[in-house]
Structure 1
Amino acid sequence: MNIGDADSPTSLFDSYEQDFQILIQGIKAKLDGEGLSAHGGVRLAEQHKSSLRKVELELDEADDVLSQLQLTLQSIPKSLRSPYVSRLNASKAELTKSKNRSRELHAAVSRTQLLGGPKFGASSDDPYGERSERQRLLAGTETLSDGNRRLLDSQRIALETEEQGADTLRALRQQREQIENSRNTLNSADTSIDRASGTLKKMIRQMYRQRVVLSIITFVLIAVVIFILWFKLVRRR
């Protein structure tokens, strides 16, 4: 393998490392430019957020380049790999340091937005700045108190909702009992109707039998009367 070849793993490693250094230097410049001022103030939070978003994108890009360095390192012969491993570890350390610095600035921006930090260039012994800080603390305390009041209101509403839910469950339970009682009553009524229907059927069958018996008796009586009349007429002759 020709080490000086532009397509060799070592040349690719050098190229990726150069790209990484360009990215990391730009990231460091942005992070140092968005840090704390000499008077202890913090620049405008919105400018911080915009710059830090750009830094996050560049950190992701640097992370991708670092991944390419790791992949390229696997293609370098083991006999030549040792110095490249050291260079890769140094690059990792630089990236980790920049990520930590970015997280610190994110936290500073969050604190600034929460407390409404002093404007850029304000002196720490400025009485107006101290008064403004006290006002911001009072405002923060009032905001916390308002949040507590809202939390208590939410708890009260939750308790009222729970009580209403319990009342609704009790009402539903009573309605269920009433429905079950009505169903039992209907079942009893159905049983009574079935019994009454059976009784009526028996009475109807008995009535039909009585009619048949009466019909037979009537027929027999008529036959007897006819026989008697015929017998008398025959004897007269």
Structure 2
Amino acid sequence: MDAPGGSELFESYEQDFEAVKVSINERLTASGGQTGEIKKQTLRATDREIDEANEILQQMEMELLNLPQGSRTRLQARLRGYKADLDKLKQTLKRAQSTSRSTADRDELLGGGSGGIDLDAASMDQRTRLLNGTDRLAESSRRLQDSHKVALETETLGAGILSDLRGQREQIIHTRNTLLEADSNIDKASRTLKGMARR
């Protein structure tokens, strides 16, 4: 199931993260030329996408636990780079939010705006991505259950082998005792024959 560079699932998460990162950058760039409610809607949508990017990184961390050590070490370095990228985007968003925050903006936000259709589209897009994330979580859970099942089967097999070895050890000890007893009987018979020969 693993790709040559690591995990196919991990690489799928990487593609999702890159797509979300591009979208975040586009929104932040667009917000620089916006004002009022439109800018706030853009920044709110950006904030949701940053949360989504965080979830994707968490899925990557979970997927790393299923990988062999060699692949895990290599992919952990890439994951650290993605986290650094996301931290920079968070800082940029905070700066954009601080420049647009005011009492008038808050009143306008509570009063609603004309961008409901855009927010609905963003909500549907986010819902689709969350459903995809849920599917991936289910797949990861299934793989963990399979790994657990294999571990239990291996444990049962190991217990059976230990039981066989214990039985073989007991047989060897019994055979050894039998040989020692036979050796003792041969010594007695030898002494008896020698005594008879002398007489």
- The two structures have a TM-score, normalised by structure 1, of 0.41
User: Bigger radius of gyration, 1 or 2?
Assistant: 1
TM-score, structure 2 length as denominator?
0.48
Q: Bigger relative contact order, structure 1 or 2, given CA contacts below 8 A and separation 6+?
A: 2
